Amino acid sequence: MDLITKNKIIDIIQDCQRPTVTIYMPTYEAGRQKNQNQIRLKNLANQAASQLPDLGMGEGKVRSFLKPIERLLDDPFFWQEAGKGLALLLDASKLSIYRLHNQVKELLVVGNCFHIKPLIPFYLRNGEYYLLAIDQEHPKIFRGSKFELERIDNLDLPASLQEMFDNYFEFHQHLSFHTKTSTPNPDIPAERGGMFFSQSGGDDIEEKLEIKNFFHRFDDALTDFIGGQDIPLVLAGAGFLHNLYRQANTYPNLVDKGIPKKVDQMPLEDLHQLSWEIVKDQHNIENQQALAVFQQLQTKDDAVSLHIEEIVSAAYFKRIHTLLITKEAEIWGMYDIEHNEVVIESEPSARNEDLINFAASQTLINRGQVLVVSRENLPGKSEVAAIFHY
């Protein structure tokens, strides 16, 4: 299955070349319904072919444009691992295919931008997070989700962070030497005298200051790498290091709970299980916090909105901090950027778009937060709500 991340969705939005065809469909891996997968896709492709002329595309061009989807219909290997859901995003440059962990409602959208809204619950539910392990001679950073945890190779890190990772070993050697020479203990064998960050567990005041100062520099480099994202960061390492690192940390999404023990020898599967237990409820916590903030700000002017016209404009002009949407809601219409006007329409067509999808897309590429909540939790059981930057 393909892991849907926030950055992947942003790339989808930004790389789009009109016109577009977006298809979501449930798929089946076994039983009688498995035979319906190709039939379902063929029907959706035929519907797309009937709508593309509304965008000025001739019959010959339509056939050529949809060729990448038609090839899938005749590819038996493609359907061997169908998964539970399928997302196909076709534009003038390429066909992007995403096999999904959960079923999705069948949907076809033909227009000038990709319909990414059904993908948002996947990256939220996947629970994307980072894990920083700091207690070994060379620190490690991992990227995780509900389904997997993988180490980010040092070569994939920016040069500034690679340099800090390399300096970490030298820093460890420095403190080890300091421990051996300045606090000799005849009861401790020589080969153990330089254990990582001293025998004292960080009680030495000078040592603590050195570690903290190093963590300040380390945090600067790490924030350059993961800053600007609303992805949780979990800290792992010897217990006394957590407090020192938190004093130096400036990344706003460092999770309060960490893994207060050495993990450098821990199997990856065990480390994944431990870290996922910490972050799995983070999405629900974020929803509750955002709804509470919305309620608090409702009495302030220009702080929040429940009106799609205002929200669409605010999303485009980078004013939205957090957008709250409901899973199934759709509001079709058009946004005139030049005149900053929103027109609501009763039916979807190739010439308009789901305005909630537009607001979500603009909020994401402008580094805002998009959360999916139940309609009952929104004030007035609205379909969309926004918290503005203030």
CA torsion angle for 238, 244, 248, 250 (degrees, to 10)? 50
- What confidence tens digit (pLDDT) does each residue in 170-189 have? 666 666 555 444 444 444 34
Mean pLDDT on 254-265: 92
The residues pairing with 384 across neighbouring beta strands, listed in sequence order, are 325
The answer to whether the CB of 244 falls within 8 A of the CB of 171 is no
The answer to whether the CB of 270 falls within 8 A of the CB of 241 is no
User: Domain-by-domain residue ranges, the chain?
Assistant: 6-124, 128-279, 284-388
Question: Comparing 1 with 288, which gets the higher pLDDT?
Answer: 288
Looking at the domain covering 284-388, what would its CATH class be?
A: alpha beta
- What confidence tens digit (pLDDT) does each residue in 113-143 have? 999 999 998 887 778 899 999 865 678 899 9
Confidence label for 214 from pLDDT (cuts 50, 70 and 90): confident
pLDDT at residue 252, rounded to an integer: 92
- State the Cα angle at 212 between 179 and 193, rounded to 5°: 15
pLDDT at residue 199, rounded to an integer: 43
**Rounded-to-integer distance, Cα 357 and Cα 81, Å:** 29
Closest CA to 49 of 172, 57, 238, 366: 57
Q: How far is CA 80 from the centre of its chain?
A: 28
DSSP 367: T
pLDDT at residue 171, rounded to an integer: 67
Q: Quick one: fold of 6-124? A: 3.30.960
pLDDT at residue 2, rounded to an integer: 73
Looking at the domain covering 128-279, what would its CATH class be?
A: alpha beta
Strand order in the sheet with 332-336: 341-344, 332-336, 353-354
pLDDT at residue 181, rounded to an integer: 47
pLDDT at residue 230, rounded to an integer: 79
Helix (H) or strand (E) holding 6: helix 6-14
**Rounded-to-integer distance, Cα 189 and Cα 196, Å:** 15
Closest CA to 48 of 110, 98, 100, 122: 110
